[in-house]
Copies of this chain bind each other. A is one copy, B any other.
Amino acid sequence: MDHNGLFRNIVAKKSFLCVGLDPEIEKIPEFLHRYDDPVFEFNRRIIDATAGYAVAFKPNLAFYETLGYRGLISLESTISYIRENYPGIFIIADAKRGDIGNTSRMYAKAFFEKMQCDAVTVAPYMGEDSVVPFLSYQGKWVVLLALTSNKGADDFQYHYGDGMRLFEKVIRTSRNWGTIDNLMYVAGATRAEMLAGIREIVPDHFLLVPGVGAQGGSLREVARHGMNDRCGLLVNSSRGIIFADNSDKFDNVAGRKAMELQQEMAEYLAEAGLI
């Protein structure tokens, strides 16, 4: 899928919502634990309840790896389920990988060939040869960490030199490693005012924005500072949707939370004249 394809899906669904599939086993409703694969059963219900309001799903690998190889089976089942039932939806493996060239090639193979994801999040610390192996796959994307939503982002991402902060240097240096059709950036919603500055460096790239909801970021601020003429935003919510309720109606509540975000997104898309 290229950036126009993403935009078409956003217009069709009046949504730029990405739902984070982070199925922390201790938080999964009790009744699902009687199934062979509670994680998959949880995800399947979340997917069915939210797919109408979302353009992307983002499983975070940590929540699967923590369960050992069985967690990877749950993840592979989840991705197959999305592919079969909601073929147009964009799947981001939130893995934050990055290693020397020959090793990043193995990770690219893992996420793009073995798991059939559309995109993978990559950490920039090791530089160009750690990122480009992911960019050699036709139609697949790198989502490069730039400015993250957590407190620790202050520690190194603002390191200032050569007239710019590290996250700005990451964006400036990397923007030509790929194109607007295979490279986007993570830019946290908890620092929405920074999105305007990021937009000056990469006006046309998509941004994946975590931190709305549980982490406290404002969707209105994100849209105000980050939206471009192809929307250019995927806004993620994980815990605020999937763990909004833990009764046997959790999926209904998750669907309602996703719908609320979608409706707010539709407003901002309309205000921007994109729908």
- Identify the A interface with B (CB < 8 A): 22, 24, 60, 62-63, 65-70, 72-73, 76, 94, 96-104, 106-107, 109-110, 114-115, 123-131, 145, 148-157, 159-162, 166, 169-170, 173, 215
Contact = CB atoms under 8 A, between A and B. Distances in A.
A147 B160 CA distance: 18
Identify the interface centre among A124, A125, A155: most chain B CB within 10 Å of its CB: A125
Given A107-B66, A123-B125, A150-B126, A160 B161 contact: yes
A262 to B, nearest CB: 24
A212 B126 CA distance: 18
Contacts of A129: 150-152
A148 B161 contact: no
A222 to B, nearest CB: 17
B159 A103 contact: no
A67 B170 CA distance: 31
**List of 6 A-B pairs having minimum Cβ-Cβ separation, nearest first:** A127-B152, A161-B161, A127-B155, A69-B72, A62-B106, A65-B110
